[in-house]
Amino acid sequence: MTRTETTTVTADDGVRLWASRSGRGTPLVLCHGGPGLWDMFDDVAGMLDSRATVVRWDQRGGGRSEPCAGPWTIDRFVADLDAVRRHFALERPVLLGHSWGASLALHYALAHPDRLAALGYVSGTGIGPDTDWHPDYRENLLARLGENPQHLARWRELPGESRERAVLQWSAEFVDRDRAVEHAERMADPWFAINSPCNKALNAEAKQTAGSPALYAACQDLDLPVLIVDGGRDIRPRSAVDSLERALPRVRRVTLPDAGHLPWVEDAVGFRDAVMTATP
C-alpha cells in the first residue's frame, strides 16, 4: 500500500472528523457501515490504491472522530460527508458506501448528484420498507450463530456494546464458517466504543423514510451511474435491493455468489474487478 496521510476535517458546526488519504488516481471516497461504527476499509484501500486516490473517514461520534452529542440525522451526516469532500478538494469523486454507508452514500448522491462522478452501493438493503429485509435478516443471523450453540448462547448473554458480542455477531456475516471469527476479529481491530445513540437514531430515521414515494421518485430522477455490488450469501436478503435497482435509471448490478456481507473479504478479485469499472 502507498503512504497513508491522516488528517482532521472540521465540519461546519465545528465537530472534528478523522479522515485519511492514500493511493493515486481517480478520487474515491469510502463510507463505512454502522451507524455508530468506524472505518474498516483497510483491505479495500489496499486493493484499490494503485488506481485510485482513496479517502476514508470515521463518521460523526465514532471511531477516531471527536466524541460529540450529535445531531444524529441523515442530513447532518450528508453535510459531514460534503465537508470531507471539500477538505480534500475533490470536485467529482466516485462515492462508495457499504451497508449503512451505502444508504448514506445514496442520500448524498440524491442531495448532490452534480458533485459525484459515480456511486457504488455495496451490501445495502434497498429503498423499500424495513419489512422487506429485517425479519429475514434476524432469522438468518440467529441461524448462522446457532450453527455453534455456544456462540449463540454467549452472544445472547453479553451486553449489547461489548467487543466480544460484536465479534460474535459480525462472524455471522461470513460464508466461510471456519474463518468467520478470524475475519470478525479483524473488523474489531482496532476497537472503539460503538455509538449506540447514533445507531438507534439513524436507524429510526431510515425506517421512517424507507418505502416512501418521495424516496422512490428521487431515485428515479437520479442522473448518475450507479454500481450495486452484492454478496450473494449475505444474511440480508438481496431481493430487498431490487427496489433500488428498479428505480435507478443508470444502474449496473454485480453479485458475487460466494461472498457474504463484506464481499471484498471473501471474493477480493471479483470485488476489485467490479469496483474498478466505477473508478476508471
For the segment 79-101, what is each residue's pLDDT rounded down to a tens digit? 999 999 999 999 999 999 999 99
pLDDT of residue 280: 65
Question: Does residue 71 fall inside a structural domain?
Answer: yes
pLDDT of residue 160: 86
Question: Does residue 136 fall inside a structural domain?
Answer: no
243, 136 Cβ separation under 8 angstroms: no
pLDDT in tens, 50-65: 999 999 999 999 999 9
The CATH number covering residue 20 comes to 3.40.50.1820
Question: Does residue 188 fall inside a structural domain?
Answer: no
Question: Does residue 67 fall inside a structural domain?
Answer: yes
Question: Does residue 210 fall inside a structural domain?
Answer: yes
**Positions of the chain with pLDDT under 50:** 1
Question: Does residue 13 fall inside a structural domain?
Answer: yes
Question: Does residue 169 fall inside a structural domain?
Answer: no
CA 110 → CA 24, 75, 228, distances in Å?
27, 11, 16
Q: How many domains does the chain have?
A: 1
Name the residue range of residue 205's domain: 5-129+194-276
Question: Does residue 236 fall inside a structural domain?
Answer: yes
> Which ranges in 26-99 belong to alpha helices (H)?
42-48, 74-87
Going by C-beta distance under 8 Å and a sequence separation of 6 or more, which residues neighbour residue 250? 222, 223, 224, 225, 226
CB burial of 218-229 (b: ≥16 within 10 Å; e: otherwise) equals bbeebebbbbbb
Q: What is the pTM of this model?
A: 0.97
